[in-house]
């Protein structure tokens, strides 16, 4: 949501995309964006994926241990050695992502923007980002979480216009909160919200 407040053209593109697939009821009321509508909203999905890449809620997965000595890329990880993964760094690797620090949802879309293309969040073919981990211990709720992110962002933006508060800017810098193992905004988001008619 912070990126959609900072970049109003992205917020508007989601609204336009929803407008194309939604109907207004015969009472003139807006319908709620439903689960079955979400698959017709590729730009919305791209925004959610880009958020998970650029601002993964956890910068690490749960710690794992190796059950035997493992030689990997010239390193030896001894049996029972604790291994963690730099989730945020993986998603911001300039060797893999062009202009990685820029919030650019289009990177997940095909050329004409009609679908999310060539990307597998489970990392079963290749790992370019892993906000939910990867492999056997991947977050079992990853599909559920993505569905809820799409559902909430769609309805929040469809019903309300989110703008920066007077005199404020959106600061996207992060702070790690080890108590909850989560990443929070260093400066909490302040917005002005009005009903979208
Ligand atoms: C955006 C939301 C979420 C993110 C980014 C996320 C991310 C993660 C990550 C990184 C792991 C560790 C994977 C690993 O160790 O390799 C994990 C594990 C797990 N997550 Fe999530 N998660 C999310 C939402 C949820 C939700 C909503 C639930 C439950 C309703 C959930 C349940 C679990 C469970 C049970 C595990 C442990 C799996 C295991 O150790 O086998 N997660 N999640």
88-111 residue pLDDT tens: 999 999 999 999 999 999 999 999
Q: What is the pLDDT of residue 177?
A: 82
Say what the pTM is.
0.94
**pLDDT for 52 beyond 70:** yes
Q: What is the pLDDT of residue 138?
A: 95
Residue 119 in tokens: 């990307």
Mean pLDDT of the chain: 92
DSSP H helical ranges for 92-183: 142-159
pLDDT band with cut points at 50, 70 and 90 for residue 176: confident
Q: Which ligand 1 atom lies nearest to the CA of residue 52?
A: 5
ipTM score: 0.97
The rounded Å distance from CA 26 to ligand 1 centre is 42
Q: What is the pLDDT of residue 29?
A: 72
Please provide the DSSP assignment of 27-95 as one string. TSPBPPPPHHHHTT-HHHHHHHHHHHHHS-S-SB---EE-SS-EEETTEEE-TT-EE--BHHHHHT-TT
| Nearest residue (CA) to ligand 1, atom 3 | 145
Distance from C-alpha of 112 to C-alpha of 144, rounded to nearest angstrom: 28
- What residues flank ligand 1, with Cβ below 6 Å? 57-58, 61-62, 131-133, 137-141, 144-145
Phi, psi of 39, deg, nearest 5: -70, -15
* 6 in Cβ contact with 55 (< 8 Å): no
- Per-domain residue ranges of the chain: 1-58+88-195
17-44 residue pLDDT tens: 999 998 766 666 778 999 999 999 999 9
| Nearest residue (CA) to ligand 1, atom 18 | 139
Mutate to test the pocket of ligand 1, among 86, 141, 148, 181 (most ligand atoms within 8 A of CB): 141
Of residues 141, 191, 182, 135, the one with CA closest to residue 161: 191
Q: What is the pLDDT of residue 165?
A: 87
Q: CATH top-level class for 1-58+88-195?
A: mainly alpha
Distance from C-alpha of 106 to C-alpha of 98, rounded to nearest angstrom: 12
**pLDDT for 9 beyond 80:** yes
Mean pLDDT along residues 174-187? 83
109-139 residue pLDDT tens: 999 999 999 888 998 989 999 999 999 899 9
Neighbour count for residue 167 (Cβ, 10 Å): 6
Residue 177 in tokens: 């909160």
């Amino acid at each position: 949501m912070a990126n959609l407040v900072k970049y109003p053209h992205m917020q508007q593109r989601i609204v336009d995309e929803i407008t194309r697939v939604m109907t207004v009821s015969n009472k003139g009321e807006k319908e709620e964006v439903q689960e079955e509508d979400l698959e017709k909203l590729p730009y919305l999905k791209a925004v959610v994926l880009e958020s998970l890449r650029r601002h993964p809620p956890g910068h690490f997965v749960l710690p794992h241990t190796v059950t035997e000595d493992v030689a990997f890329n010239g390193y030896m990880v001894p049996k029972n050695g604790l291994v963690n993964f730099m989730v945020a760094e993986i998603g911001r690797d300039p060797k893999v992502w062009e202009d990685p620090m820029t919030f650019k949802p289009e990177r997940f879309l095909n050329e004409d923007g009609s679908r999310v293309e060539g990307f597998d969040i489970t990392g079963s073919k290749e790992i370019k980002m892993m906000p939910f981990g990867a492999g056997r211990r991947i977050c079992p709720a990853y599909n559920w979480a993505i569905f809820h992110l799409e559902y909430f962002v769609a309805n929040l933006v469809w019903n309300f216009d989110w703008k920066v508060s007077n005199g404020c800017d959106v600061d996207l810098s992060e702070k790690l909160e080890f108590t909850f193992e989560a990443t929070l905004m260093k400066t909490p988001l302040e917005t002005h919200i009005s009903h979208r008619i």
